[in-house]
Every structure is written in C-alpha cells, then in structure tokens.
Amino acid sequence: MHDAIYPLAETLGKRLHNLKQSLALAESCTGGAIAKAITDVPGSSAWFDRGFVTYSNAAKIEMLGVLQDTLDSVGAVSQETALEMVAGALAHSHADLALAVTGIAGPDGGTEQKRVGTVFIAWQRRGQVGQCVKQQFDGDRQAVRWQVTQFGLRLLLDVAG
C-alpha cells in the first residue's frame, strides 16, 4: 500500500513547493492517514502547514468551526459538513489549499442512506469557494481508509495546479 501512496505524496509536495503553496488537512474517517502520508516525505514541512484530526463532532465544532446545526440536520458524513471542515481548516491555518474528508470507514456506522464506505471529500483554495465530491469505497475498514487517502492525494494533485 505504501508503494502506491508515497509517490503521490512526494509528487504533490514537489508541485506545492514549486508553486510556493502550502496545504492544510481536516481528517475524520482517515484518522490522520493523509497527514502521515505527507509527512513521510522528507522536507514536507516546506509545504505542509498543519492537519486537524477531528474524529468527534465536538472536535469538528471546536477546532474547525463546524456548526452544531449542520451536524444535527445532515450529520457528520455529509457534503455540508465536509465543506465546513475544509473552510475551517483554511480559517485556522496559513495554508493556501485545504482538503477535508469525512465518512464511514466501517465496519459499523452505515445506514441504508449512507453505507459503509461513503465518504465526502472537500477541497478549497484560500479566497475561493469550496467544492466537494461524494465517493463510495468498498472493502474493510483499512481498505476504505487506504482508498480515501489515495483518492485525496490524487485529488490534491489535480487541483494544486
């Protein structure tokens, strides 16, 4: 698994470093796996500002400014929450670009409406409007988290410029 992720993180780092841009992350279901992949790359401190692992709803509220009303009305695993998370990551960092992930890694927690493997991934550049995609990943907990990490890094490569 590491073999597939490290080159993505390394390429992302080179791109952001060359563009003189930095990154912040807000992770829930990945538990910091994207930040780990990034910090495995030597010199990542030149382009990685910070990461927030906001696993609980309280952490999302306290660290990122996610609204209680949002969590109450649509839940933590939603486009609205992902967009509030990514905006909060930018607001509480010096980064130029941010990524947020929230989802259900399993094996429990899924519903008919939001199955295990449902993940919302949001990204935003400072001064721009955030965007979000919903993805459905398959497999066990580790497989879902690995796929989200890989997808997030690929997405960042696409939007980094």
pLDDT value at residue 1: 46
pLDDT value at residue 2: 55
* The model scores a pTM over 0.85: yes
37 φ, ψ to 5°? Answer: -60, -40
Profile the chain (161 residues) by mean pLDDT over runs of 10 residues: 84 96 97 97 97 97 98 97 98 98 90 90 97 96 96 97 81
Give pLDDT tens digits for 57-72. 999 999 999 999 999 9
Contact 29, 119 (CB under 8 A): yes
DSSP for 12-53 reads HHHHHHHTT--EEEEESTTTTHHHHHHHTSTTGGGTEEEEEE
**Side-chain half-sphere of 111: how many Cα atoms within 13 Å?**
5
pLDDT value at residue 108: 87
Choosing among 3.90.950.20, 3.30.450.20, 3.40.50.300, 3.10.105.10, the CATH entry for 2-160 is: 3.90.950.20
pLDDT value at residue 55: 95
Domain ranges for the chain: 2-160
